[in-house]
Amino acid sequence: MRAGTKEAGTARCLLVVPPVDLPTHPYPAVVQLATWLRRRGHAVEAVDANVRFFRWAIGAERLERGCGAARELLARLDAGDLSPDSETRPLLAEYRRSLGLRERFPGLFESLMDEGSPLPVPFRLDAVEAALNLAFAPTFPERVMTRVSLQYRGRADRFSSASLWEALESRSLLDEFYADLLPALPLDDFDFVGISVPFPQQFEPCLRLCRAIRRSHPRLPLYLGGPAVGIHLQLFPDERIFRLVDGMVVGDGEKPLEAMLAASRRGGVRPEEVPGMVWLDGGEIRRNPLPPPTPLSGVSAPDDVFSREGYLCAPGDPFHRLSLSRGCSWGRCAFCNTGGSGLFPSQKLPAEEAFRRVKELVARGERTFCFADDEADGAVLAELARRSLEEGIRFDWTVQTRFHPVMTLEWASLLRRAGCRKLFVGLETFDDRLLRLMGKPVNRRLVERSLTELAWAGLPVTVYMIVGLPTETEEEARDSFERLLARVRSGEVSGVHYNLFSVPPCAPVGRDPGRYGITSLRPPGGTDLAPMVEEFESSGMSRPAARSLQAEFEERLERELRTPRG
Ligand code: B12
Ligand code: SF4
């Protein structure tokens, strides 16, 4: 980040990626926003506090202290002086393993984020998680864990405003990090700070960050934005959150931030003029109408807002994320937030334009892409593949899409020849009754045929499965699992994420549970930020039975294959 002094007549904003998320690449929102605003001549700086946190936390000093705290906890455990629960027991076991690893390989943990580390990235990621948890030991049970992606667990129930507020009273390693980070940032240079919050796990770290900035720079306006703000945090029911932030922006950030920069030039942000702003107006919480969605066609290939050297990212690994589409053209599956939140209206890039962006990044040396779509369009993917083969532009890529009649052997072979290394697809269940109930636009025949065609083309597939769907019986769940297992064994499926069904707030099943056979929803006590609800009543298996099936299925699959990270 460039430090500088504020020029008269210009407005500057700082965009922040908060902890805790994967350290392999920056989540794409800040990169996209900074690129868009800079290309329009605005003065925008960006800092990835997440990756800085990783580097800070697994430095020698923090690790040494963490090891001491972990040893003390283990001594207390051995003396019968600590009563772990189902969450903390595995963490304590992990401390024991990590301490052993550190003794055998001194210096290993400290070097994990170094570019020159000889270890492959997946191994480094596991080791970074272990190292980070040692660093967290002084604030036990604060921790991270892998579940689909890297998850942070602090003190708070992330979907409860009261719990989030209360958690801020407790000690966190993040507070110490912010105390070191903030003096190194030229915060006086900025008219306001925008923090991007894609995932609910970032609420607690993010509120701690806001509090630290408020304490050091009480007059610096602070705004939050990002998907998890739009779906959850904006529902914070009282004025307390506005002691820490000046507003929350719901929806796409390009237009609101541009309006805020323009207003700052004229003397200061006027929240009533910013689309999507949620703010406090004389004790009342006000909500402005959503901003217009940013047309994907107006979003260029990402600039190098952050330098890949800082990340846990081997040369040739994917760093930038490109979206070929936004939202989902189907958008009606009962359990999916995408169609119902109003935040992700469906848009897709013409293949021509998508290919132009890919070429731009390839010309800048990028060779691997994870496309960041909810549901990439099969025809666009085929066209992209065709064009890259015709023009001899080589790159490897992965993408998230849905089962569709377009998935033939020819289609899959074309994608594979053009560098597609894996498809991620929501399969959910093989049961036609449940697929119909959930509004999935597929049936078992289509899924099985697609998997076979993809396998003939040698295109690896990772599928997302769900167990415990409303009205699902144990028999139906086992039948689906056995069908999946057979495909894992035959090599047709190379990766699986088996999720327990929970009711998302903005999804059709969240808005009209009765329609899907749910007779009562039991959100966890005290939650008021549109929680995902795991507990509900319906016919079919009980919730404890669903949970135990999920654990069983995961364990059996683990034996068949080691599920890779998303
Ligand atoms: C790709 C993706 C992933 C990938 C990679 C993510 C990554 N780290 O790169 C993987 C597969 C790992 C993943 C995992 C998960 N994901 Co995901 N993912 C997505 C997806 C499909 C695209 C994300 C993307 O690239 N968006 C492009 C950027 C540019 O868009 P954006 O983030 O919305 O940003 C815009 C606005 O929000 C706003 N904005 C953003 N920041 C800011 C800041 C300020 C100040 C302002 C003013 C505006 C602003 O402006 C931006 C530009 O217009 C989204 C859905 C979607 N349509 O966005 C879900 C989504 C982000 N994921 C979601 C979830 C829930 C998860 C999981 C928890 C799922 C699970 N069951 O485990 C995991 C956990 C991840 C974690 N780290 O905790 C939710 C999060 C929101 C929520 N429900 O609370 C989403 C929104 C899906 C959904 N519809 O519910 N995910
Ligand atoms: S689950 Fe997939 S296909 Fe269904 S609405 Fe969501 S993104 Fe679209």
Q: Which residue, among 179, 210, 93, 177, has the nearest Cα to 141 in the 3D structure?
A: 93
Q: What distance in angstroms lies between residue 339's CA and the mean position of ligand 2's atoms?
A: 8
- The answer to whether 23 and 54 have CB atoms below 8 angstroms apart is yes
pLDDT for position 120: 86
Report percent pLDDT > 90 for the chain.
92
Residue boundaries of the structural domains of the chain: 8-296, 315-561
Where do we find the tokens 């047309």? Answer: 295
Query: Which is the closest atom of ligand 1 to the Cα of 150?
Result: 77
- Check if 192 has its Cβ closer than 6 Å to any atom of ligand 1: no
Instruction: For a ligand 2 pocket test, name from 333, 346, 436 the mutation site with the most ligand atoms within 8 angstroms of its C-beta.
Output: 333
The 10s digit of each residue's pLDDT in 34-68 is 999 999 999 999 999 999 999 999 999 999 999 99
Task: Please state, in angstroms and rounded to a whole number, the distance separating the CA atoms of residues 448 and 428.
Answer: 13
Task: Please state, in angstroms and rounded to a whole number, the distance separating the CA atoms of residues 545 and 528.
Answer: 27
Considering only CA atoms, which residue is closest to atom 33 of ligand 1? 227
- Check if 323 has its Cβ closer than 6 Å to any atom of ligand 1: yes
HSE at residue 203, side-chain half, CA atoms within 13 A, is 32
- Check if 319 has its Cβ closer than 6 Å to any atom of ligand 1: no
Task: Please state, in angstroms and rounded to a whole number, the distance separating the CA atoms of residues 96 and 9.
Answer: 57
Considering only CA atoms, which residue is closest to atom 55 of ligand 1? 374
Considering only CA atoms, which residue is closest to atom 59 of ligand 1? 374
Query: Which is the closest atom of ligand 1 to the Cα of 254?
Result: 53
Considering only CA atoms, which residue is closest to atom 5 of ligand 2? 331
The 10s digit of each residue's pLDDT in 143-179 is 999 877 899 999 999 999 999 999 999 999 999 999 9
Mean pLDDT of 318-341: 93
- The pairing of strands 368-371 and 143-147 is unpaired
DSSP-based three-state secondary structure for 427? strand
The 10s digit of each residue's pLDDT in 183-232 is 999 999 999 999 999 999 999 999 999 999 999 999 999 999 999 999 99
- The answer to whether 301 and 357 have CB atoms below 8 angstroms apart is yes
* Higher pLDDT pick, 341 / 513: 513
Partner residues linked to 278 by β-bridges: 248, 287
The 10s digit of each residue's pLDDT in 460-500 is 999 999 999 999 999 999 999 999 999 999 999 999 999 99
DSSP-based three-state secondary structure for 460? coil
Instruction: For a ligand 1 pocket test, name from 45, 51, 129, 149 the mutation site with the most ligand atoms within 8 angstroms of its C-beta.
Output: 149
The 10s digit of each residue's pLDDT in 456-468 is 999 999 999 999 9
- Check if 531 has its Cβ closer than 6 Å to any atom of ligand 1: no
Query: Which is the closest atom of ligand 2 to the Cα of 338?
Result: 6
- Check if 210 has its Cβ closer than 6 Å to any atom of ligand 1: no
pLDDT for position 565: 42
How far apart, in Å, are the Cα atoms of 77 and each of 90, 95, 98, 153, 375? Answer: 12, 12, 16, 21, 47
The 10s digit of each residue's pLDDT in 98-109 is 999 999 999 999
Identify the nearest ligand to the CA of 245 by its number. Answer: 1
pLDDT for position 566: 43
Query: Which is the closest atom of ligand 2 to the Cα of 402?
Result: 3
The 10s digit of each residue's pLDDT in 245-283 is 999 999 999 999 999 999 999 999 999 999 999 999 999
Mean pLDDT of 7-35: 92
pLDDT for position 8: 53
Task: Please state, in angstroms and rounded to a whole number, the distance separating the CA atoms of residues 59 and 191.
Answer: 32
Identify the nearest ligand to the CA of 435 by its number. Answer: 2
Task: Please state, in angstroms and rounded to a whole number, the distance separating the CA atoms of residues 332 and 4.
Answer: 48
User: Mean pLDDT of all residues in the chain?
Assistant: 95
Report percent pLDDT > 70 for the chain.
98
- Check if 336 has its Cβ closer than 6 Å to any atom of ligand 2: yes
- Check if 257 has its Cβ closer than 6 Å to any atom of ligand 1: yes
Residue 563: pLDDT over 70: no
Query: Which is the closest atom of ligand 1 to the Cα of 232?
Result: 84
Q: Which residue, among 344, 393, 394, has the nearest Cα to 373 in the 3D structure?
A: 344
Q: What distance in angstroms lies between residue 517's CA and the mean position of ligand 2's atoms?
A: 20
Q: What distance in angstroms lies between residue 423's CA and the mean position of ligand 2's atoms?
A: 15
Query: Which is the closest atom of ligand 1 to the Cα of 21?
Result: 77
Percent of the chain that is helix, strand, coil (3-state, to 5): 45, 15, 40
Q: What distance in angstroms lies between residue 363's CA and the mean position of ligand 2's atoms?
A: 33
pLDDT for position 405: 96
Q: What distance in angstroms lies between residue 198's CA and the mean position of ligand 1's atoms?
A: 5
Topology given in CATH for the domain delimited by 315-561:
pyruvate-formate lyase- activating enzyme (3.80.30)
Considering only CA atoms, which residue is closest to atom 4 of ligand 2? 333
- Check if 497 has its Cβ closer than 6 Å to any atom of ligand 2: no
Identify the nearest ligand to the CA of 13 by its number. Answer: 1
Query: Residue 107: which region, alpha, beta or left (left: phi > 0; alpha: psi -120 to 50)?
Result: left
Q: Which residue, among 169, 182, 246, 242, has the nearest Cα to 212 in the 3D structure?
A: 182
Query: Which is the closest atom of ligand 2 to the Cα of 440?
Result: 4
Query: Residue 517: which region, alpha, beta or left (left: phi > 0; alpha: psi -120 to 50)?
Result: left
- Check if 22 has its Cβ closer than 6 Å to any atom of ligand 1: yes
Q: What distance in angstroms lies between residue 427's CA and the mean position of ligand 2's atoms?
A: 10
Instruction: For a ligand 1 pocket test, name from 15, 21, 125, 196 the mutation site with the most ligand atoms within 8 angstroms of its C-beta.
Output: 196
Q: What distance in angstroms lies between residue 227's CA and the mean position of ligand 1's atoms?
A: 6
The 10s digit of each residue's pLDDT in 286-319 is 999 999 999 999 999 999 999 999 999 988 889 9
Where do we find the tokens 């059996």? Answer: 556
Query: Which is the closest atom of ligand 1 to the Cα of 252?
Result: 53
Q: What distance in angstroms lies between residue 226's CA and the mean position of ligand 1's atoms?
A: 8
pLDDT for position 9: 65
- Check if 302 has its Cβ closer than 6 Å to any atom of ligand 1: no
